[in-house]
Structures are given as C-alpha cells and as structure tokens.
Copies of this chain bind each other. A is one copy, B any other.
Amino acid sequence: MTLTAQIVDRLSSLVVGSGWRRGKPAPSTAPEALIEAARALPGLHSETRVGAVAAEILAGYGALDDDAKRAFFAGLRDHFDPDHGALAKAARRWLDNGGPGDLESLSRMAEPPRQELLRRLNTAPGGTARLVSMRADLLRLTGRDKAFARVDADFRHLLRSWFNRGFLQLVRIDWHSPAFLLEKLIEYEAVHEIRDFRDLQRRVLPVDRRCYAFMHPAMPDEPLIFVEVALTDDLPGSVQALIDEHRAPIAAEDADTAVFYSISNCQAGLAGISFGNLLIKNVVAELSRELPDLTTFVTLSPIPGLRAWLDERAAAGEVAIAALLADPQPVSLVAQTSRYLLLAKDSKGRPRDPVARFHLGNGAEAHRVIAGADTSDRGTKQSLGMMVNYLYDRRRIEAQHDAFTETGVIAAPKRLQDLARKTEAEAELPAKAGKTDSKT
C-alpha cells in the first residue's frame, strides 16, 4: 500500500460520514477528524481524490452541531496560517536582497494555506454553496471574536473573487420561474413579508410587476439578491397600496415609473460582498431597454432608524413624539424625517440611516419624504409610517455618487434641503433654550 493510499485510508476511517449519500443521514464526525482531513487535503495529488475528500469534509461539516462547528473553525484558525519559519525566512531574504524572485516568494509564502484549502473544498459537487453556507455559520458563531478575523478574511477574499461581477447572471423571475427559486424569494424577502405562493404570485405575475435576481452559475438553486419592481403611472405614496391584492394592474407600456420597493440579500455567507448597487443599475438598464417610455426610476424605501433617532431627539427635548403623532397634518413629522435623512450622521460621519447610506452611496437622490406610507406594524414601529423615495436619475447618478463619496454631499431637492436645515435650526433652539432653562 502506497503512502498516499495509507493516508486516504486513514482519512476515510476518520471521516465517518464517508458513507453519506442522498436520502441517508450523514453520521456525525468529530470536528478534529475533519480538520485532520483538511490538513491532508493540500498534500493529495490526484484531482479525483481531492474532490472526493473535499466532498467528505463538507458533508461531515454539514452534520456538525454548533459547538462542533465552533471547534472546526478553531481548527481552521490554528492550523492554516502561513508557516511561520518559512515566511520569516522569506521576509528577511526580501528585506535584505529585494530581488523580484524574493518578492514572489514572499507573496506566495504570505498567502495563508487556508485559501488553498478553500479552493480545494470548492472542487466538491455543490462546494461553492456549501462554502457560502459555512461562512454564514462562521459569522454567526464567531463574528464578534477578533481571533477569527483572519479566517473570515480568507473566506471573504476568495468569495469576493469568485462572486466577481463577471460571473454573475442577471435573471428575471416571474411565474414561469422554477418553484424552488420562487420558494427562496418567500424565504429571503426581508422588507415586505411574502406569506406564501399566493402572495408571491401578486409580486411576480401581474403585467405591471417585475422581479430580478443575481444568480451565480455554481449555485443554480440560490439567488444572491433580488429586487421587486412595480411599474406605475405616478410616484408611489404607499407600499400597502402598491402591493394591495385588489388593485387593478396597468399595462406595462402605460407605465412611466419603475418603483424598486423591496431589495433583499439572500446569502448571509456573502455579507460584505455588495451586489445591490450593481443589481439596481443593471435592472434600470434592462427596463429602459424593454420599456423605452419609462422616465423615472425610484425606490419606495423604509427608514429603519427613524424612530430610534426621534426617541433620542425627544430625550434631548428637541421633539415631542406624542405631538408628532397627534398632528393630523404630518407637517412636523415630514420635517423631522427630512432632517434625519439629510443631516443625521453616524459615528463615522456617514448618513445615520443604513438604507439612506446604501442608496445615497449608489448615487441616488433623497427625492421625497412620505407620511403614512407604510402602515404595517413594522413600518409604524420603526418609522411612524414614514417612507422615502430615492430617485435614480441616470444622467446624474455618477456625479452624485462622486460627490457623496468624496465630500459627503447628499443629493436632494432644494425644498427638502431647506426643510431639513430649517428643522435642524429650530430644533437646536428649544434644545439650547431647554438647556439654558435648566441652567437657570
């Protein structure tokens, strides 16, 4: 028996899950055994065997409980750093000599062997999806532990390379799409819940609805991100009206506005690898081609951080929530929302609202603030029913993106800018007044 055969034999006895196949549960395997197999993986020469061992490791991993997964990740952390001695030698040699060959050696030695491990795991059937799911576990179980940061860095590095725009496919999803894919939409919809297939049908079947997703060819069963679009003949003022089941659809050719009313990321394991910006811009291009009469591309977006910010302002004596809510004319609420969106910043000086940050960062304009636009429980709780239209104007989008990125300038109509500033100025008076008062 050759040496490799002995190793493989040993691996098979370690990885109890090797008998795993569809329809039979994989018996559990110790994470230590999986890590041992993973350490042997880079030494194997036969590509067929690499694939087989990779499949066994991934199947074995899939059968672990959370504690065992944590142990597996610890193994990934501890056993797949660059070889310390070799790297130190390479680093010193380059520092001393600085030849191009030395640089290449240093680069090669500095790449953590974890990356080659992940590449080899990816050769198993369905490997890509399993690695994405493994990273979702990693973030969930170790996300706050800095000791695991370098494990995640390697995952992210490879996933970013593999989920490069050049490999993504823009797919239209409708009622002719496969059921398994539609099922994922129900599962992943993050903004306005889809209760069941009947409910989903209303989002994708009518002639004035569209849904698009990015897919990756190595994960044909999994959307990465999807966006739901309504075709309308005016700016939408209420998400409930937009998805009302009794509304009458309009002909797509009669629409002048495309409303992006829900964007959902599907893969927790791809966190930090952004697809939303590209998806919106690709869909704008696609819709413009199909329906040349569309003139306006706009979102109907939630303002998830509004209520929390208002509560802070109330605590600071600037606003009175009860009064805001009691007001039959929501003038003050609109004013405060404008202020929040355009002027409230987070600790890094960026717009405080995460959804605002996303769309403004894409180059959109904070176009209109609407009261009573989301009367759902969540809408009421998060934002007192307020929503916002972000406008994607193709002629201005790149300039606005640059201005936002470089100098933090937020694109918004002058009217809204003025309202926000005026509200801010007035708010500071009573607050200061209050402070002054309290001093006296």
Chain A positions within 8 Å of B, measured between CB atoms, are 2-5, 8, 21-24, 45-49, 51, 81-82, 84, 87-88, 91-92, 94-95, 98, 100-101, 103-104, 106-108, 110-112, 119, 122-124, 127-128, 147, 149-150, 153, 158, 160-162, 164-167, 169, 175-180, 182-183, 196-198, 201, 207-208, 217-218, 249-252, 254, 274, 277-278, 281, 363, 397-399, 401-403, 405-407
Contact A164 B123 (CB under 8 A): yes
Known contacts A106-B110, A110-B107; A162/B165 CB under 8 A: no
- Cα distance A101–B103 in the bound complex, in angstroms: 21
Q: Which listed residue (B21, B166, B277) contacts A123, Cβ 8 A?
A: B166
Chain B residues near A166: list those with CB within 8 A: 122-124, 127-128, 218
- Cα distance A46–B277 in the bound complex, in angstroms: 9
Helix, strand, loop or mixed for chain A's interface? helix
Chain B residues near A110: list those with CB within 8 A: 106-107, 110-111
Chain B residues near A5: list those with CB within 8 A: 398-399, 402
- Cα distance A134–B5 in the bound complex, in angstroms: 40
Min CB distance A231 to B, Å, is: 11
Known contacts A107-B112, A217-B217, A405-B4; A165/B47 CB under 8 A: yes
- Cα distance A208–B201 in the bound complex, in angstroms: 28
| Complex: chain B residue closest to A111, CB-CB | B107
Min CB distance A48 to B, Å, is: 5
Min CB distance A117 to B, Å, is: 13
